Chains A and B, each alone.
Chain A
Amino acid sequence: MVTVAEPVVTSRLSVRIQKRFRAAGTPPFQLGIEESFSAGFTVLFGPSGAGKSTLLDCIAGLVSPDEGFIKLGEEVFFDSEKKIFLPPQKRGIGYVFQSLALFPNMSVEENASYGLSHLPAADRSEKVERILATFHIQALRRRKPAELSGGEKQRVALARSLVTEPRVLLLDEPLTGLDEGLRQSILQDLREWNTVHGIPILYVTHNREEVNAIGDRVLAIEGGQGRKSGMPGAVLDAPRSAGLAQAAGFENLLQGKVIEQRAVDGVMRVALDATHCELEVPLGTAQLGESVQVAIRAGDILLATHALHGLSARNVLPGTVESLEVRGPLGIVRVNAGARFTVHVTPGAMRSLELTPGLILWLVVKTHSCHVVSPQ
């Protein structure tokens, strides 16, 4: 379905910026990003308030950084040393806001042609025609934004930005609130558009499913800093901090202390606070005695109703079932093993294991399913 073609023109977007924010009543916030974005999707992922939207505003020119530079290929948008600041209307950047910001006083067609005022009328209507077709919204041309559904608005906002043939596209959670099918269909239209144009697309989200759905490069951002970049699997499955772990969907975040390091075995032991539980986790940079958090996905924990022997998994903890819940295809089991664990199983497994509250069982966790993250 998705055709992958070589981009026509490739300009890298290079960003190295520092921006400090100080507002009364809020802790000071510092954005510091050094990153280069090539053609295609880069997902900016992180918890709310991580600075993702602020980064987009800086690239767009709506916010001026304190220091650093922003360049597209050889063209300088911002350079604090050379005192260059190109205003947003001269950058040729497309930006779709979270609120979409469609002009309420204009029809879909007028919204879409707003960025083409420099062109003669004939070219303008031809381009608008083509972009409305690309996003399957020709039928809506006479409607006002107030008369559109959520998904239609999102298509119009994308069309309005893309018709100007931007050199960089910034998308701030443009597809939130859409169901999976609609999201995929809009994403596919966008991908098709970009096989021809080949521009860097920065896509902000705090939704893990969306990261997987887009599937390209990810830059994890937290506390205003770029934490890690790479393919989604590498970034999401090995979070480095508690905030990112939570955002990436690690249901179990357990507070503890490093009590033993065994370099030979490549492991260390973490005693969970206020419990007798100990977990064996991969050897990391944490020091002996240091407070850490251990992140474990609920789906990475096995349940056993009898004690097991001869197992490669190093962590086997006895516990008691506290509660059971079924949500569609997901069975959620809460287990008290000193610390409270959330475990995901199938409703079928729940039945065949005859899980009931009060049942004593064993939690089985592989060492490498335990991710040591630094506390926030």
Chain B
Amino acid sequence: MNIEALLLSLRLASTVSTLLLLVALPLAYWLAFTAWRGKFLVESVVALPLVLPPTVLGFYALIAMGPHGALGRIWRALFGHTLAFTFTGLVIASLIYSLPFAVQPLVASFESLDRRLLDASSMLGAGRARTFARIILPLAWPGVITAVVLSFAHTLGEFGVVLMVGGNLAGITRTVSIDIYDRVQALDYTSAHQTALLLLLMSFVVLSVVYGVNRRVWSLWPSR
């Protein structure tokens, strides 16, 4: 088994799921509570990675990050190199790729909150920030955990986007799923089996956490 590739994947997944939470919380809050009629457009953009082939997304990401892309040019002006085939480039591409997996559970849990609780908070003098911290976040906690876990798992298993944007550089962009592909190409089935089984088990654990967390909430608050 390729430990280096596994560690890289874990590092990528944890970086992405943390950053994604920071992006997705305000975005999901806005989507759940805005009265703007055009919000379906934003919803569609957020959901795009669900239906786009990863290679398409990866292709556009690669173009944008390359020496002629806007992002690549800015990055080169700042740091002296482009984003393509770097770990940072992988993180940025993965942020876009996993965005719906973080945003949708959050929106769903925000929307399922009893609006009267938020009204009650306002009537008791709380502004938006306090209502968010004391009411929305604690009550939407299962949604937050689901968002983190799903975006972590989704990033861990991504293949097409990584291959397009990151290539296959050992220790920099060679993630587990790419490693498995490599091993199969090299007819090293034993190693491929080991890594694949590990990923399978991790995915199962992750989904158990998601379903377990949501189930616990149903039994704690029968007044739902």
Task: Write out, one digit per residue, whether chain B residues 113-127 have a CB within 8 A of any chain A CB (1) or not (0).
Answer: 010110111111111
Which of A44-52, A87-95, A243-251, A279-287 is near enough to bind chain B?
A87-95
* Interface: B223 (CB within 8 A): yes
- For window 192-224 of B, CB contacts with A under 8 Å fall at 220-223
Q: Which residues of A contact B119 (CB under 8 A)?
A: 60, 62, 88, 95, 97, 101
- A161→B120 CA distance, assembly (Å): 9
Are the C-beta atoms of A89 and B122 separated by less than 8 Å? yes
- A60→B116 CA distance, assembly (Å): 12
Are the C-beta atoms of A146 and B223 separated by less than 8 Å? yes
Q: Which residues of A contact B135 (CB under 8 A)?
A: 103, 105
Taking the nearest CB of chain A, how far is it from the CB of B33, in angstroms? 13
Q: Which residues of B contact A146 (CB under 8 A)?
A: 220-223
- A160→B138 CA distance, assembly (Å): 19
Taking the nearest CB of chain B, how far is it from the CB of A62, in angstroms? 5
| A114-B134 contact given A88-B123, A101-B119, A161-B123, CB 8 Å threshold | yes
* Interface: B130 (CB within 8 A): yes
Taking the nearest CB of chain A, how far is it from the CB of B125, in angstroms? 5
Are the C-beta atoms of B125 and A89 separated by less than 8 Å? yes
Q: Most chain-A CB neighbours within 10 Å: which of B120, B135, B139, B220?
A: B120
Are the C-beta atoms of B122 and A114 separated by less than 8 Å? no
Q: Most chain-A CB neighbours within 10 Å: which of B119, B125, B126, B138?
A: B125
Q: Which residues of A contact B117 (CB under 8 A)?
A: 101, 103-104
Are the C-beta atoms of A94 and B123 separated by less than 8 Å? yes
- A94→B120 CA distance, assembly (Å): 9
- A145→B114 CA distance, assembly (Å): 15
| A164-B122 contact given A101-B114, A105-B138, A114-B134, CB 8 Å threshold | no
Are the C-beta atoms of A103 and B120 separated by less than 8 Å? yes
Q: Which residues of B contact A93 (CB under 8 A)?
A: 123
- A129→B122 CA distance, assembly (Å): 23
Residue of A nearest to B123 (CB): A95
Q: Which residues of A contact B223 (CB under 8 A)?
A: 104, 145-146
Taking the nearest CB of chain B, how far is it from the CB of A171, in angstroms? 12
| A105-B123 contact given A97-B116, A146-B223, CB 8 Å threshold | no
* Interface: A118 (CB within 8 A): yes
Q: Which residues of A contact B120 (CB under 8 A)?
A: 95, 97, 101-103
- A340→B28 CA distance, assembly (Å): 59
* Interface: A275 (CB within 8 A): no
* Interface: A117 (CB within 8 A): yes
- For window 5-24 of B, CB contacts with A under 8 Å fall at none
- A114→B135 CA distance, assembly (Å): 11
- State which of A87, A102, A104, A115 has its C-beta within 8 Å of the C-beta of B139: A104
Taking the nearest CB of chain B, how far is it from the CB of A300, in angstroms? 40
- A118→B126 CA distance, assembly (Å): 10
Are the C-beta atoms of A164 and B139 separated by less than 8 Å? no
Residue of A nearest to B223 (CB): A146
* Interface: A99 (CB within 8 A): yes
Are the C-beta atoms of A104 and B221 separated by less than 8 Å? yes
Taking the nearest CB of chain B, how far is it from the CB of A140, in angstroms? 16
- For window 77-135 of B, CB contacts with A under 8 Å fall at 114, 116-117, 119-127, 130, 134-135
Q: Which residues of A contact B130 (CB under 8 A)?
A: 117
| A60-B123 contact given A104-B223, A105-B139, A114-B134, CB 8 Å threshold | yes
Q: Most chain-B CB neighbours within 10 Å: which of A94, A95, A160?
A: A95
Q: Which residues of A contact B139 (CB under 8 A)?
A: 104-105
Taking the nearest CB of chain B, how far is it from the CB of A17, in angstroms? 18
Taking the nearest CB of chain B, how far is it from the CB of A352, in angstroms? 51
Taking the nearest CB of chain A, how far is it from the CB of B127, in angstroms? 6
Are the C-beta atoms of B125 and A118 separated by less than 8 Å? yes
Taking the nearest CB of chain B, how far is it from the CB of A324, in angstroms? 43
Are the C-beta atoms of B126 and A89 separated by less than 8 Å? yes
Q: Which residues of B contact A92 (CB under 8 A)?
A: 125
- A146→B219 CA distance, assembly (Å): 11
Are the C-beta atoms of A62 and B122 separated by less than 8 Å? yes
Q: Which residues of B contact A164 (CB under 8 A)?
A: 124-125
Are the C-beta atoms of A89 and B123 separated by less than 8 Å? yes
Are the C-beta atoms of A117 and B122 separated by less than 8 Å? no
Residue of B nearest to A115 (CB): B124
Q: Which residues of B contact A103 (CB under 8 A)?
A: 117, 120-121, 134-135
Q: Which residues of B contact A105 (CB under 8 A)?
A: 135, 138-139
- A60→B139 CA distance, assembly (Å): 24
Taking the nearest CB of chain A, how far is it from the CB of B167, in angstroms? 47
Taking the nearest CB of chain A, how far is it from the CB of B44, in angstroms? 22
- A145→B125 CA distance, assembly (Å): 21
Are the C-beta atoms of B125 and A117 separated by less than 8 Å? yes
User: Chain A interface (Cβ within 8 Å of chain B)?
Assistant: 60-62, 87-90, 92-95, 97, 99, 101-105, 114-115, 117-118, 145-146, 160-161, 164
Extra A-B contacts (12), CB below 8 Å, given A61-B122, A161-B123: A62-B122, A87-B122, A88-B122, A90-B125, A97-B120, A101-B116, A101-B119, A105-B138, A115-B125, A118-B125, A146-B222, A164-B125
Q: Can you list 16 A-B contacts (CB < 8 A)?
A: A60-B123, A89-B122, A89-B126, A99-B114, A99-B116, A101-B114, A101-B116, A103-B135, A104-B221, A105-B135, A114-B121, A117-B125, A118-B125, A146-B220, A160-B124, A161-B123
User: Chain B interface (Cβ within 8 Å of chain A)?
Assistant: 114, 116-117, 119-127, 130, 134-135, 138-139, 220-223
Q: 10 closest Cβ contacts across the A-B interface?
A: A115-B124, A101-B120, A101-B116, A88-B122, A95-B123, A105-B138, A89-B122, A89-B125, A97-B116, A101-B117
